[in-house]
Structure 1
Amino acid sequence: MNLIPEPLRGYRRAWLARDVIAGLTLSAVAIPEVMGYTSIAGTPIVTGLYTIIFPTLLFALLGSSRLLVVGADSATAAVLAAGLTGLGIAGVTPGSPDWLAFASLTALVCGALLILARLLRLGFIGDFLSASVLIGFLTGVGIQVLSGQIPDLLGIPKGKGGWFEQQWHWITSLSSIELGTLAFGLATIVVIQIFRRFIPAVPGAVVAVVLLTAVSALIDAQAHGVAVVGAVQGGFPPLGLPSGISWSDVPKVVPTALSCFVLIIAQSAATSRSFAFKHGDAVDINRDIVGLSGASLAAGLTGTFVVNGSPTKTQILDEQKGRTQLANLTMAAVVLVFTLFFTGLLADMPKAVLAGIVFLIGVSLIDVPGLQRLWMRRKNEFVVAVITAITVFAVGVEQGIILAIVLSLLDLVRRQYTPGDFVIGQNQAGEPTYLPAKPGAQSLPGLVVFRYDAELFYANANRFADHFESVISAAPDPVRWVALDCAAIDDIDYSAGVTLANLVNYSRAHNARFVLVRPDTQLLSTLRAYGTLDTIGEDNIFPTLAEAFRAYRADPDPRLPLSG
């Protein structure tokens, strides 16, 4: 048995220095970032650090991706917070021990769902969130995240109620702005943006945290009304089941865990796949699900919240020329050392600094270029993205997840229900030509080769038949041959098989021969099982378009010319 984790197999000594340097750089970015995510998740600051210690270790040991960085993530943190808020259980409020216990329980249930997904090979679930829906979802999360930080940036208490009520609260409370808090918040944003623009090799968030925490300590900002983080309980992550939780609490977090589960598979699979393809590595999404399940279980058993594959941190790792999970293990080791010995340095850090970091994270999630591309190329998908985004920040993140799945499935059904259909002809060189399948179109005088670009099933079978009949009945010349091009039809359910048999009878009632062109062996086996192939006849099957055209020309109708 090979005990070396898959992402570390075939390791080269030349990669070591790069991996260590990439891990050190990544930890500098990750530490302030994951601390900021705790303000979204509603958990103590140290729990953000916990998300990249044992969860990162477990993914490195069990996953397949060489680069995917696992840890706290803004989208899953927002889903978690929305779900726990919706529980409405007394005592389960952001920042409370019970809140953290339920957050850890959600991670455990999410880990169990991921194990189930691996056993059932459900890695394909991530493919059911289309790119346009993901753009809209993450944009909505970004708007929710950044708008949620505005009160902390201004030093104003957060409002109650829905998203619009919360925005109205801070807008009508501008007279209560705490100027010192605003100064620290704006300074954080400015410092990060300056380094991002002019010195991208240096993590601006780290500079902002170190510099502004030092300023805060020097001027005793807390004494001037600036809210600070205060003492941060560091030390080794707690090991064990969440305290105060019973089996009866598990069903309460299942809906939230399901939402996180879908998002984790979709986001992590897309990230892992894109970076694997970039470097020519193999992709094993089901193996990554094993790693993600281990990471989620580790999160739940070490006193923290749900983790996810991070596109931004993975991009940073790639930019730093990291090659394997050793870079992530280096990051985890640095964070562990920081958690054990240096969290006391955070006591004077203004909360507005964390708010500024998270505010910019929210801004980065708003995919303006992606929305612009959708607007220019697929306006209907742009509308879907906008609807998803509005639902996420105005109604709720969980509702946005549900809508995203529903819209993606509806789009899939729509594409299958209304695919392209064509009448195929031939040019003078014998190459196929494709014309829209409209009444009046024909391939040759007396011949209609009809192509339907989707699998046939109960929902689109009648529409397929209607289009088919409209082309046949309106052909300029009496139709003698009807050919169905099956190149895009891999499968056909029983309802569609009955419809196809009826079309064969319809064609013969109009004195036309019905043939199949380019069917694969699986489709023929299915039609044979339905008995539809007996209706069509084995001699009415042609493996290529060219053979079908030749056969038609060899069977002339003396009433019609053979050129077309």
Structure 2
Amino acid sequence: MTVWLPDWLRHYRQEWLAGDVSAGVLVALLLVPQGLAYALVAGLPPQVGLYASLLPLLLYALLGRSHAQSVGPMAVTSLLVAASLAKLGLGSAGDYLLAAIWLALLSGAMLLLFGLLRLGFLADVLSEPVLAGFTAASALLIVLSQLGPLAGFRATGASLPAIVDNLWLHAGNYSQPALLLGLPALLLLWWARSGLPRLLHAWRLHGLLLAILSRGLPMLVLAGSMLLVAWLGWQGQLPQVGRIPAGLPAISLPALPASGLAALVLPAFFIALINYVQSLSVAQLLAIPRRETVDPDRELLALGACNLGAGLCGGFPVTGGLTRSIVNAEAGANTQLASLITMAMIAALLAWGSGLLASLPLSVLAATIMAAVAPQVRLQPLLQAWRADRSDAIAFAVTFLLVLWLGVDSGIIAGVVISLAAWLMKSSRPHMAELGLLPGGSHFRNVQRYPQCQTLPGVLILRIDESLYFGNARHVRDALLARLAAERQVHTLLLVMSAVNRVDVTALAMLQRLDETLAERGIRLQLAEVKGPVWDVMLGAGLAERFTGRVHLSTYAGWQALTPAPDFHI
């Protein structure tokens, strides 16, 4: 029976228990306000965020490999859900909820399928600049969307123009009690990110007490706001969470939404993609200090099961949360037992304490969201990319602006297109360097960077720094012919293939036509450092025989073969 248990449970040590318990309690204090708040971001009843935090924690503990990954609702995912469902024109809150549940089920099924097919490389579809631009713009949209709830009115819109227009229309409909509670809560939570830890350190507080006071402050703020509402008699003067159904959610397959499933397939795919990239990034970050490795395909399976579990519990899509997972690790989590403790505390709250949340002011929940999400509006990656690679900086900026202007659902599609277009643009114009021999050795370098390099008369040695495929074959051929036209009295072109990892049929056809064209001009084409996989493709296509006697094991071997024999005179 133990073979079905996860590794951490089969090899559990007693000394891990204290760290797991403290981390589980602390993450529960953080996850409760986040779950409630992120459900509101998605346009769902607040308890749905807690429902989505139950089975995913259990399933990841059984199937996941990260010791401290905490799976549950996330801000960007919630905004994606809201943006996707807003375009469907659903007529009732019930249809909206069913559609959100099916987004979790569909994205979970997709992730499971991707895991079974070992498609872990899907995480590479989004480049780092595009993902950073998407995250920063999404975080900014979330912050702006909470200005309405902070002031006591409901704000809609999934793009910057829509949010600004909605805020303008409701400019005079604010609630003074909501602002009096929300603004101080926002300032307190913002100060707690940096000022509170310094103050607690000055008071010589350390360990678990320090973590609870600093990380558990959002829960304390929520509790304090409910007490203030009751003390001041503001129950009917500002929006509140309202009655939350008591008890745990039933595990069942929901009815189909009125919109049907076809309209949800594409949004579910992009939600699955973003959630997977987020979860895998968090797992890899947590694995570095422990010198562990992360299996992307295993993470796909685990995250897929978590989303299916969220949907069966009546929740919406979930992923690994960066803030919660880091808090979990820093609080001492040694295994996924910490997540099971978190789940047990949330389940206990739903079963016996849900009535305590009814008077919770939505303006304070909005402040919680804004304080948690605002640090993700980071433009430093844009500046770093601008200094390193202008094309990456453009990708960041374009994604950022498109997400703001069009919304996160259209922005993520644009982000994928930009990532692929940027890769295609770079790989379609590969760098080619003329090589020369460094004096006194057998090493070759770019003659433009190392002017002291030696060259052979009549021989042009060029290194292609990219794999050859249909997207760059024509450009490589034209660039080589243009280079030879500029060089006079070249009788041999030696192509160094050390950076060519793959070739396709289009590239092989290009090499054959290039060889024929050069032969007509009296120029002999030779190859050096052809890798095994590339040579196998050439063999299969029948091109290897054509270059028999013209392929060198190394660039230096080609140099020696092309060096004229010394002319001795007696």
Do the structures match in fold with TM over 0.5? yes
Q: CA deviation at 1:493?
A: 1.0
Aligned position for 1:453: 465
Alignment partner of 2:247 out of 232, 235, 250: 235
In structure 2, how many angstroms separate the alpha carbons of the residues matched to 1:505 and 1:7?
63
Aligned position for 1:550: 560
**Maintained 8 Å contact 1:232/1:344:** yes
Give 1:305-454 correspondences, 5 Å limit: 305-430=316-441, 431-435=443-447, 443-454=455-466
Q: SS state of the match for residue 113, structure 2?
A: helix
In structure 1, how many angstroms separate the alpha carbons of the residues matched to 2:190 and 2:396?
28
Q: SS state of the match for residue 221, structure 1?
A: coil
**Maintained 8 Å contact 1:6/1:62:** no
Aligned position for 1:146: 143
Write out per-residue CA displacement over residues 141-178 of structure 1, whole angstroms, 9 at most, x where no aligned residue. Answer: 11111111101111244366964143134246444432
Aligned position for 1:116: 113
Deviates more, 1:208-217 or 1:165-174: 165-174
Residue 86 to residue 172, structure 1, CA distance change in 2 (3 Å): closer
Q: Which runs of 5+ in 1 are unaligned?
A: 559-564
Is 1:84 paired with 2:85?
A: yes
Deviates more, 1:455-464 or 1:192-201: 192-201
In structure 2, how many angstroms separate the alpha carbons of the residues matched to 1:75 and 1:6?
31
Deviates more, 1:251-260 or 1:269-278: 269-278
Aligned position for 2:201: none
Is 1:279 paired with 2:290?
A: yes
In structure 1, how many angstroms separate the alpha carbons of the residues matched to 2:172 and 2:265?
42
Q: SS state of the match for residue 292, structure 2?
A: coil
Write out per-residue CA displacement over residues 299-324 of structure 1, whole angstroms, 9 at most, x where no aligned residue. Answer: 11111111112122112122223222
Alignment partner of 1:134 out of 131, 136, 141: 131
In structure 2, how many angstroms separate the alpha carbons of the residues matched to 1:473 and 1:310?
57
Aligned position for 1:462: 474
Q: CA deviation at 1:8?
A: 4.2
Q: CA deviation at 1:7?
A: 5.0
Aligned position for 1:562: none
Residue type matched to 1:392 in 2? V
Is 1:261 paired with 2:272?
A: yes
Give 1:32-51 correspondences, 5 Å limit: 32-51=33-52
In structure 2, how many angstroms separate the alpha carbons of the residues matched to 1:532 and 1:442?
31
In structure 2, how many angstroms separate the alpha carbons of the residues matched to 1:283 and 1:188?
38
Residue 302 to residue 419, structure 1, CA distance change in 2 (3 Å): same
**Maintained 8 Å contact 2:56/2:310:** yes
Q: CA deviation at 1:179?
A: 2.0
Residue 429 to residue 12, structure 1, CA distance change in 2 (3 Å): farther
In structure 1, how many angstroms separate the alpha carbons of the residues matched to 2:530 and 2:374?
50
Is 1:212 paired with 2:225?
A: yes
Aligned position for 2:550: 540
**Maintained 8 Å contact 2:95/2:257:** no
In structure 1, how many angstroms separate the alpha carbons of the residues matched to 2:487 and 2:325?
57
Q: Identity percentage over the alignment?
A: 27
Residue type matched to 1:206 in 2? M
**Maintained 8 Å contact 2:391/2:422:** no
Q: CA deviation at 1:535?
A: 1.5
Q: CA deviation at 1:25?
A: 1.2
Q: CA deviation at 1:337?
A: 1.3
In structure 1, how many angstroms separate the alpha carbons of the residues matched to 2:7 and 2:420?
34
Aligned position for 1:4: 5
In structure 2, how many angstroms separate the alpha carbons of the residues matched to 1:160 and 1:78?
10
Q: SS state of the match for residue 498, structure 2?
A: coil
Aligned position for 2:205: none
In structure 2, how many angstroms separate the alpha carbons of the residues matched to 1:10 and 1:90?
52
Q: SS state of the match for residue 322, structure 1?
A: coil
Per the normalisation by structure 2, the TM-score is 0.91
Residue type matched to 1:181 in 2? A
Residue type matched to 2:550 in 1? N
Q: CA deviation at 1:556?
A: 4.2
Residue type matched to 2:485 in 1? S
Aligned position for 1:520: 531
Aligned position for 2:203: none
Q: CA deviation at 1:457?
A: 1.0
Write out per-residue CA displacement over residues 42-79 of structure 1, whole angstroms, 9 at most, x where no aligned residue. Answer: 11111111222111111111122222211101111111
Q: Which runs of 5+ in 2 are unaligned?
A: 198-210
Residue 180 to residue 300, structure 1, CA distance change in 2 (3 Å): same
Q: SS state of the match for residue 433, structure 1?
A: strand
Deviates more, 1:70-79 or 1:192-201: 192-201
In structure 2, how many angstroms separate the alpha carbons of the residues matched to 1:8 and 1:547?
57
In structure 1, how many angstroms separate the alpha carbons of the residues matched to 2:483 and 2:565?
21
Q: SS state of the match for residue 146, structure 2?
A: helix
Q: SS state of the match for residue 278, structure 1?
A: coil
Aligned position for 2:200: none
Aligned position for 2:177: 180
Residue 159 to residue 541, structure 1, CA distance change in 2 (3 Å): closer
Alignment length (residue pairs):
547
Aligned position for 1:251: 262
Q: CA deviation at 1:9?
A: 5.1
In structure 1, how many angstroms separate the alpha carbons of the residues matched to 2:518 and 2:565?
18
Q: CA deviation at 1:263?
A: 0.9
Q: CA deviation at 1:510?
A: 3.6
* CA-atom RMSD in angstroms: 2.3
Aligned position for 1:222: 235
In structure 2, how many angstroms separate the alpha carbons of the residues matched to 1:106 and 1:449?
55
Residue 26 to residue 502, structure 1, CA distance change in 2 (3 Å): same
**Maintained 8 Å contact 1:501/1:536:** no
Residue type matched to 2:96 in 1? W
In structure 2, how many angstroms separate the alpha carbons of the residues matched to 1:84 and 1:248?
10
Aligned position for 2:312: 301
Deviates more, 1:50-59 or 1:542-551: 542-551
Q: CA deviation at 1:3?
A: 1.6
Write out per-residue CA displacement over residues 79-122 of structure 1, whole angstroms, 9 at most, x where no aligned residue. Answer: 1111111111322xxxx222212211111111111121122211
Aligned position for 1:24: 25
